[in-house]
Amino acid sequence: MRLGGSTHALNLISSAVVPGLPFLKSTSTSSIKGLFTMINSLTFRALLLCVIVTVYPSAAYFEGDGTTYTLGGVSAGNCNLMSWNSIAPTNYAALNNEQWDNLGNCGRCALVSCSDEACEDQTASSIVQIVDRCPECKYGDLDLSPSVFKTITGSDPSRLSIRWQFVDCPNPETLKICLKSGSNGFWIAVQPTNAVLGVKSVRINGNVASMISGAYYYLITSSSEVDLTAVDVALTSIKGQVIEGTFSLSAGQCT
């Protein structure tokens, strides 16, 4: 995973030991900065991708019912994603209300398989991206795209038992920071997309951003106008990694 757009300053702070890269164990911001000044941008992006993808294990499995529905487009989901993983148009899912976490699980990926005796092959699995919410679904349930449901169950639409866990998203793409339509220098709502791991929290220009109601955007308000051509964004992943960058943002676009 790498930070795209007009990124002027980048930091990675991780307490994990990366196989083959023991020097990344240090949590000293200054030492990390010093290291990255000695490598070019391409090498940095490769190292960052390696760190994000390989360090952390997957979460526990959940069990529930698998159902299927048709979503008109990825952006039409309750997450209101402005950019998404390449699998999302065909491999999407709506998460149950109890695990929705106030939009906090938007954009995460899950590995799903069928555990029902009615399924043709219980070893078949697919990775989906969470782009929507299923209000009526119970804890552990997922409402799946038709193609994923068919792949893992071998059946036409119905309700069958499934087993799933959160996993790193496949085919890592450029991490983007999107600015919500209607945003301005006083009302700044950003959406981090294409992250391999889930995002736990966001800071914008050093200020803790809060999730807006009803869609996956992190918001700050400012009494003085913020220069949108140089906005500092810091993301903390669910595993504690911190990635920072400075972005030139435009309302309704991703950088």
* Both tokens assigned to 227: 């220069």
- Tell me which of 246 and 42 has the higher pLDDT: 246
Pairing of strands 125-134, 199-204: unpaired
In which order are the strands placed within the sheet that holds 210-211? Answer: 176-179, 187-193, 218-221, 210-211
Cα torsion for 146, 97, 207, 4, to the nearest 10°? -10
Where do you find CATH 2.60.40.760 in the chain? 11-55+172-247
**Residue (of 132, 140, 148) closest to 91 by Cα position:** 148
Q: For 62-167, which CATH superfamily applies?
A: RlpA-like domain (2.40.40.10)
List where CATH 2.40.40.10 sits in the chain: 62-167
As given in the structure block, the two tokens for residue 114 are 């069928």
- CATH superfamily entry for domain 11-55+172-247: Expansin, cellulose-binding-like domain (2.60.40.760)
CA angle 53, 58, 63 (to 5 degrees): 145
Region 33-53 average pLDDT: 34
Q: Which of 11-15, 133-137, 186-190, 221-225 has the lowest mean pLDDT?
A: 11-15
Q: What is the mean pLDDT of residues 73-95?
A: 98
d(CA 185, CA 88): 31
Q: Is the pLDDT of residue 22 over 70?
A: no
Encoding tokens for residue 70? 């048709």
- pLDDT confidence bin for 59, thresholds 50/70/90: low
Q: Rounded to whole angstroms, how far apart are CA atoms 153 and 139?
A: 20
pLDDT above 90: percentage of residues in the chain: 73
* Of 38-47, 59-68, 82-91, 113-122, minimum mean pLDDT range: 38-47
